[in-house]
C-alpha cells in the first residue's frame, strides 16, 4: 500500500504604495504675469514614497505653442532613480475649498530621473489662462492660486512562497468590469450587429448598446427598420469617432488619444461631443464639454461656441461667451475664420455675445 502525502503551496507577490498630497499656494498670482514663456516657479520639495518631488508652474506656458495657457508639471527630483507612480494634478476652487482634477494618470507609469519622463504630464496645455482667470471659474481669489498634487508611489514589491491554508489566499481585487467590456468590444466575441461606418465594419453587441443609449435602444429594439438588421450603416461619422463612442459605451471612459497632437486631440473631442449628442450619451457629452471649456483660445473659441449652440451645450456656450467678453478678446475673435463661420451658421448666438459684452462694459 502506497502512502500519499498532500500539501498545499502558494506564492504571493505583494506591491505596496504610499500616497501623499502637496498643496502649492501661489500668493500674488498677478505679479507673475510678464515673466515670459518657458519661465517657471516651483513649489517646495516634498517627499512621497521615499522620493523627492516638486510642482512646476509656468504662468505663460512652456513653449510657444502653449503661450495662451498655463503649464503645470510634477517633477521627480531624486537623482539616479526610476520609480512607478500615478498622480492627479488639481486646481482648488476657493469658494468651496475643493480641488478639481485637471490632468491625471491613474495607471502607475515610470518616472526616470535621467530623461524627460521625470516630468508629467506630457502636455504643456494644462489650462487656458483666460479660463483660469475668469471670476466664474473660482480658481483665483484675492490674487491667490492653489495647485494640488495627489501622488501615489510604488514603494515595495516582494515575492513570498510558503505552505499556506486556502483561506489565507483570499484577496478581493478591484473591479475590472470596464476592462472586461472593453476587451469584449475589441475582440468582437458574441457580437450580433455590425455597423458600417465610412466603409469600415465595426462589430458590437445590441444589448450593451441599448442598455447605455436610448437612441441605440430605439434603433435596435424599437419600431425602426434596424430592429431586425444585423448590419447597420452609420452616415456622417468617421470610423475612429464611432469607435470612440463605442469605447465610452463599453468602458464609461474616453479612448486613449495620447498619440494625437494637441490640435488633433481637441478636434477629436469636438467630434466625440457631436457623436455623444447624436446618441444621447449625456455623461460623455458633458465630459467633452468640460475638456473644450478648459482649453479655449482666441483661434478656437468661435468654433467651439458654434458647436455648443448647435448641440445644446448650455454650460459650454456660457463659458465661451464669458471668455470672449470678460477677457476683452472681441476684436481678436472677430478676425478669425471661426467667427466668420459662427456668423453664417449661428447668427442668433451673437446676440448673446453682444448683450454680455454690453453689460460687461457698463460694470
Q: What is the pLDDT of residues 60-111, one digit of tens each?
A: 999 888 899 999 999 999 999 999 999 999 999 988 888 888 988 888 889 9
In CATH, what class is 13-157? mainly beta
- The pTM of this model reads 0.54
Task: Tell me what pLDDT residue 20 has.
Answer: 94
* Cell, residue 245: 463612442
Count CB-CB contacts under 10 A for residue 209.
Answer: 22
- Tell me the three cell numbers of residue 25: 499656494
Instruction: For the chain, give every domain's residue range.
Output: 13-157, 177-292, 296-363
Say which CATH superfamily domain 177-292 falls into.
Potassium Channel Kv1.1; Chain A (3.30.710.10)
- Residue whose entry in the numeric block shows the C-alpha cell 475638456: 291
- The reported pLDDT for the residue numbered 34 is 83
The helices-and-strands tally (H runs, E runs) of the chain is 12, 14
Strand-strand pairing, 144-163 and 82-93? antiparallel
> What's the confidence (pLDDT) of residue 190?
93
Q: Which helix (H) or strand (E) holds 182?
A: helix 177-187
pLDDT at 50: 92
**Predicted local distance difference test score (pLDDT) of residue 363:** 41
Nearest-Å Rg of the Cα atoms of the chain is 25
Under CATH, which number does the domain 296-363 receive?
A: 1.25.40.420
| Residue ranges of the chain whose pLDDT lies below 50 | 360, 362-363
Amino acid at each position: 500500500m502506497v502512502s500519499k502525502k498532500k500539501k498545499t503551496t502558494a506564492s504571493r507577490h505583494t506591491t505596496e504604495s504610499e500616497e501623499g498630497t502637496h498643496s502649492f499656494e501661489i500668493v500674488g498670482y498677478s505679479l507673475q504675469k510678464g515673466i515670459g514663456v518657458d519661465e517657471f516657479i516651483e513649489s517646495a520639495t516634498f517627499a512621497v514614497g521615499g522620493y523627492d518631488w516638486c510642482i512646476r508652474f509656468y504662468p505663460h506656458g512652456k513653449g510657444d505653442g502653449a503661450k495662451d495657457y498655463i503649464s503645470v508639471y510634477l517633477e521627480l527630483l531624486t537623482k539616479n532613480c526610476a520609480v512607478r507612480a500615478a498622480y492627479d494634478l488639481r486646481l482648488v476652487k476657493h469658494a468651496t475649498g475643493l480641488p478639481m482634477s485637471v490632468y491625471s494618470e491613474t495607471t502607475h507609469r515610470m518616472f526616470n530621473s535621467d530623461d524627460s519622463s521625470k516630468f508629467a504630464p506630457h502636455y504643456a496645455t494644462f489650462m487656458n489662462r483666460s479660463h483660469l482667470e475668469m471670476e466664474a471659474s473660482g480658481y483665483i481669489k484675492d490674487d491667490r492660486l492653489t495647485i494640488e498634487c495627489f501622488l501615489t508611489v510604488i514603494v515595495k514589491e516582494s515575492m513570498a512562497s510558503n505552505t499556506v491554508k486556502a483561506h489565507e489566499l483570499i484577496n478581493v481585487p478591484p473591479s475590472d468590469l470596464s476592462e472586461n467590456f472593453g476587451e469584449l468590444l475589441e475582440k468582437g466575441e458574441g457580437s450580433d450587429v455590425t455597423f458600417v461606418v465610412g466603409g469600415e465594419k465595426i462589430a458590437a453587441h445590441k444589448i450593451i448598446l441599448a442598455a447605455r443609449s436610448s437612441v441605440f435602444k430605439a434603433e435596435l429594439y424599437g419600431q425602426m427598420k434596424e430592429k431586425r438588421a444585423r448590419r447597420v450603416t452609420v452616415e456622417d461619422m468617421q470610423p475612429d469617432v464611432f469607435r470612440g463612442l463605442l469605447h465610452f459605451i463599453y468602458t464609461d471612459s474616453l479612448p486613449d488619444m495620447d498619440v494625437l497632437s494637441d490640435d488633433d486631440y481637441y478636434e477629436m473631442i469636438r467630434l466625440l461631443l457631436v457623436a455623444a449628442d447624436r446618441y444621447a450619451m449625456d455623461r460623455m457629452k458633458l465630459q467633452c464639454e468640460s475638456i473644450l471649456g478648459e482649453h479655449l483660445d482666441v483661434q478656437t473659441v468661435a468654433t467651439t461656441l458654434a458647436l455648443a449652440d448647435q448641440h445644446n451645450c448650455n454650460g459650454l456656450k456660457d463659458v465661451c461667451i464669458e471668455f470672449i467678453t470678460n477677457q476683452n478678446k472681441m476684436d481678436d475673435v472677430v478676425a478669425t475664420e471661426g467667427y466668420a463661420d459662427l456668423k453664417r451658421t449661428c447668427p442668433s448666438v451673437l446676440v448673446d455675445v453682444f448683450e454680455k459684452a454690453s453689460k460687461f462694459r457698463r460694470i
